[in-house]
Amino acid sequence: MTAAATTLTYESTSRTAKAGALTLHYHEAGPADVRADASADVRADASADARADASAVIMLHGGGPGASAWSNFGANLPVFAGHFRTLLIDQPCFGRSDKTAPDRDYFSFSARAVAALMDEIGLEKAHFIGNSLGGGTATRLAIDHPDKVGRLLLMGPGGISVNLFSPDPTEGIKRLFAFNASPAPSREQMRDFLLTMAYDPAIVTDAFVEERYVQATDPEARLGAARMGAAFATWPQESQLWREGHRVTQPTLLTWGREDRTNPLDGALVALRTIPDARLHVFPHCGHWAQVERFDEFNRLALDFFSH
C-alpha cells in the first residue's frame, strides 16, 4: 500500500448525497487519491477528473448488526481505488444513511436508492460487489436497472442463493436474529454472531467486538435493523431473487467461503445454474467475509474480473 493510500480514512472519504427521497452516506476514492507522487493539492484537483473518466466499482455491505460500508470494505478501498473510482455505500437503514421504513421489499427498496444515488452524482454505470444482504441488492439492481450494472461479483449473497442441503435458518442467521430481537443485546451475543461470520476466530478480537457492538446498539442503528427486518417479514416472496436468476444478464462471479455458516456453499448451486453468464470461485478456509479472510486473493480475483 502506498503512502497516499493510507490517507484514505473514514472521514476523508466520507460523502452524502440525495437518493430520491432518501439521503445516503458513502465513501469514495479513485486513482488520483492514491498517487504517492502528487501533493495533496494536486491530488485534490486531479481527483475529480480521474473520477469522471475512470471505470467505477460500487461495494454493498452485508446486513449483520453494526454493519456498514466501512466496516465491510474499508480495508479494501485503497486497493480498488488505485484502479477504479470506488464507492462504498451505506445501504438504507444502515450506517449514516437514512433509516426510513422501506415501502417495498428491502432488496428493491435499497436497489432503487442506489440507482437514484448514481443518477444524483452522475455515475451512469458501475461494476458491483455485493456481500450477503448487499448481494441481494446488487442482484436486484442488475435485474431492475440493467443499464447501470457492468459486471456483478456476489459474495455469499442473500436472496439469490438457496440452501439445498443446509438447514434454514442457518447458524449465522439465527444469531443475527437473536441479537436484533433482544431488548438489550450483550457483547457476548455480538461475539457469538461475529464468530459465525469467520473461519478463523482470531479475527474476532475484543476491539472488533466492541466496535461492532457500539455501532449496533446505537438507537438509530436498532431502528434501522428493525425496519429492515420488517421489510423481509412483510414481503417474503419478493425477497426470493433466485426465482429471477435467469434475468441477470451481466457477467457474474459468485464467490463463496467454503466454511460459510451464514449462507452456506450449497446455496450457490441454484444461482450458478440459473444465471446465464455465471461462474463460481470457492475460497477454502474462509467464512462469510472473503474480503477480510482472503484479502489478497479476493482483491486480485475481483480486480481481474472487473478488468476484462
Strands, E, within 219-262: which ranges? Answer: 252-257
What's the CA gap between 24 and 7, in Å, rounded?
23
Q: Is 148 in contact with 141 (CB distance < 8 Å)?
A: yes
**Within 13 A of 3's CA, how many CA atoms are on the CB side?**
5
With a CB cutoff of 8 Å and minimum separation 6, the contacts of 124 are 118, 147, 148
What's the CA gap between 54 and 19, in Å, rounded?
22
C-alpha cell at 23: 439521503
Q: What amino acid positions are annotated as catalytic residues?
A: 288
Q: Which residue has the cell 456476489?
A: 154
